[in-house]
Structure 1
Amino acid sequence: MGKYLDSAKAYIGRDAAGLLEGGRYALIHTRSLEFDELRPYVPGDDVRDIDWKATARSGHTLIKRFVSEKHHKVLVVADAGRNSCGLAPSGERKRTVARNLIGAIGLMTVPRSDEIAMVLGDRRGNVDIRLRRGESHIEQMLHRYHHHTADQPGPSDILVQLDRVARHYRHRLLIFVVSDEPEITDRLAEVLDALTARHDVLWALVSDMPAVGLPSAPGRSYEVADGRPILTGLDTEVVEAYRRAEAQRREQLSEFLTSRRIPHARVTGSVRIRAALTAMTGVYARAG
């Protein structure tokens, strides 16, 4: 395992593959009749697969797991533009949080030998990394992402990456979008409607450090790009107005994504990665 995957592993924990089990994933994960092993029941599993005898012996609800005939085909769509150079609320660079998040998604695919690909880029264009499987492939994906975000990236525009996928990726995929919080536009609605008609889409939103009113310094404001303080002594009413506007913007974005049946979660730092992925995949499983 390479250094980027090692970093991601610290934030996803054990049983990463379990986040892709059960529920609606049956549309993608079919099975043979060949028994493989028993595993704990998770919400969304087919109750017909419960092994009642083993459950009675162990005192825990256990599910029969079967040898896979098909695997997930996962596509990560990632913003690698200038917005990724900003700071997250955790104080980390957003590109670090995003890289650990992409690595965690990759680690979910490893135990079942699922295939994973990535489309990354900025407003200038895209880099396509084809479907493959395995840790070496995922480490190379993370290296490519890191290099792009660290080497004078262009302006961020996740619509460029989403439009690329909508136009050129025809076979059904499980898509994880990794970006900051986009502006709601008619064009975004059009592209997402095209994507969700063919693919299953989940969106991890990497948050910015608040521009004003951090708890540790409520009267100061910050440059979002690098966390540098730019004003001091802001009026409390100004800070509260900003917070209300931000809360309203986030609520509108959440309603926009929910209306298109896109599970989503905000990621404020690397320590929140597993919780965010659990929330998204849990919603997705229950939707089935």
Structure 2
Amino acid sequence: MGTHLNRARAHFGTDTRGMLEGGRHALLHTRSLEFDELRPYVPGDDVRDIDWKASARSGSVLIKRFVSEKHHKVLLVADTGRNMAALAADGERKSDVALHVLGAVGLITLGRSDQIGMVYGDARGSLRVRQSRGENHIESMLAGYHGHAGRHGPSDIVCQLTYVATHYRHPMLIVVVSDEPDTDSRLEDAVARLTSRHDVMWAMVTDMPAAGVKDGAYDVATGRPVLGSAATDPRVVAAYERAELRRAERLSQLLVARGVPRATITGSGQIRRAVGEMTRVWSRAG
């Protein structure tokens, strides 16, 4: 296994069973009659799959799992703009955390033989990697992301979302990996276009807060201080924190309204939890 996949595996682990199952679109629903294993029932499961005899023996409700006949088509959509050169909340470079998230999704698809591709870029435009399978393909995609992230143009994930909405017509699972973008009409329109056709999940790498940093922190996109000399003024810090909270709430409201499972990730140590939560919510959608 390649360098980037191995690093992702170190943070995510090797057990990917039960992840990326379900979804809304019919092409993802079909299955064979080949039994795989039993697992605990969770709200949203099809009650027709309950194994009542096994449930009676175990004392808990168990669901039969079957082998999927069809595989997903997965598209990673990632920000490689200058925002990703900043530090995440846990102190890692945001692009490194994002790379590990992308690798974690790649590891899940390996276990399912899903096809996976990628669109990544910044405000200047997008690069496209066609969908395929296998370790070498995924490692190559991760290397491409690593070579571009945080090195060139300003971040604007809406550019990548719009590119996907325009060029990808067949339903698929889209996994967006970026920081927390501002909510405006451009983002609202792009998310609406994507969710009308595709399943979408969103993993967001959070910034290290400017409040509490000695110099008030700097915006990597502009080089300007976020709080500057006012970083020691409690009133300014409180106003900054309230503004950040409102910004996060607006973004959350947009994604909830569009049925987009999302997770905020402070560092690589949070990836297993965050990806697990997103995939469980998505698997029960529809």
- TM > 0.5 fold call: yes
Query: In structure 1, what residue type is equivalent to 2:281?
Result: V
Q: Indicate conservation of the 8 Å contact 1:21/1:45, yes or no.
A: no
Misfit runs of 4+, over 6 Å? none
Query: In structure 2, what residue type is equivalent to 1:161?
Result: Q
- The structure-2 alpha-carbon separation of the partners of 1:72 and 1:23, relative to structure 1 and needing over 3 Å to count, comes to closer
TM-score relative to the length of structure 2 = 0.89
Cα distance, 1:56 vs. partner? 4.3
Q: How does 1:47-196 map to 2 (within 5 A)?
A: 47-57=47-57, 61-149=61-149, 152-196=151-195
**Which residue of the partner structure matches residue 217 of structure 2?**
222
Query: For each residue in 1:63-98, what CA deviation from the matched residue of structure 2 results, as whole angstroms up to 9, or x when unmatched?
Result: 333332211111111001111111001110000000
Q: Which has the higher strand share?
A: 1
Query: For each residue in 1:155-185, what CA deviation from the matched residue of structure 2 results, as whole angstroms up to 9, or x when unmatched?
Result: 1111111111011100001111111111212
Counterpart CA distance in 2 for 1:174 and 1:272 is 22
**Is 1:260 paired with 2:255?**
no
Q: Indicate conservation of the 8 Å contact 2:25/2:171, yes or no.
A: no
- The structure-2 alpha-carbon separation of the partners of 1:108 and 1:42, relative to structure 1 and needing over 3 Å to count, comes to farther
Deviates more, 1:83-92 or 1:274-283: 274-283
Query: For each residue in 1:6-61, what CA deviation from the matched residue of structure 2 results, as whole angstroms up to 9, or x when unmatched?
Result: 1111222343242223575776142022x242132352332322333344455565
Q: Indicate conservation of the 8 Å contact 2:23/2:199, yes or no.
A: no
Query: In structure 1, what residue type is equivalent to 2:103?
Result: G
Q: Indicate conservation of the 8 Å contact 1:22/1:42, yes or no.
A: no
Q: Indicate conservation of the 8 Å contact 1:17/1:107, yes or no.
A: no
The residue matched to 1:63 in structure 2 has which SS?
strand
The residue matched to 2:112 in structure 1 has which SS?
coil
**Which residue of the partner structure matches residue 267 of structure 2?**
269
Q: Indicate conservation of the 8 Å contact 2:73/2:115, yes or no.
A: yes
Query: In structure 2, what residue type is equivalent to 1:223?
Result: Y
Counterpart CA distance in 2 for 1:16 and 1:199 is 23
Deviates more, 1:12-21 or 1:106-115: 12-21
Query: In structure 1, what residue type is equivalent to 2:168?
Result: Y
Counterpart CA distance in 2 for 1:284 and 1:175 is 11
Aligned counterpart for 2:243 among listed residues 242, 245, 251: 245
Q: Indicate conservation of the 8 Å contact 2:23/2:29, yes or no.
A: no
Counterpart CA distance in 2 for 1:247 and 1:239 is 12
Counterpart CA distance in 2 for 1:80 and 1:270 is 17
Query: For each residue in 1:103-131, what CA deviation from the matched residue of structure 2 results, as whole angstroms up to 9, or x when unmatched?
Result: 11111111111111100011122111111
The residue matched to 2:67 in structure 1 has which SS?
strand
Counterpart CA distance in 2 for 1:22 and 1:28 is 6
- The structure-2 alpha-carbon separation of the partners of 1:167 and 1:25, relative to structure 1 and needing over 3 Å to count, comes to closer
Deviates more, 1:197-206 or 1:65-74: 65-74
Query: In structure 2, what residue type is equivalent to 1:183?
Result: D
Query: For each residue in 1:186-208, what CA deviation from the matched residue of structure 2 results, as whole angstroms up to 9, or x when unmatched?
Result: 12211211111100111111111
The residue matched to 1:181 in structure 2 has which SS?
coil
List alignment gaps of at least 5 residues for structure 2.
Answer: none
- The structure-2 alpha-carbon separation of the partners of 1:211 and 1:98, relative to structure 1 and needing over 3 Å to count, comes to same
Task: Tell me the C-alpha RMSD between the 2 structures.
Answer: 2.4
**Is 1:283 paired with 2:278?**
no
**Which residue of the partner structure matches residue 209 of structure 1?**
208
Q: Indicate conservation of the 8 Å contact 2:230/2:236, yes or no.
A: no
Q: Indicate conservation of the 8 Å contact 1:20/1:108, yes or no.
A: yes
Counterpart CA distance in 2 for 1:111 and 1:59 is 30
The number of residue pairs the alignment matches comes to 281
Counterpart CA distance in 2 for 1:122 and 1:203 is 17
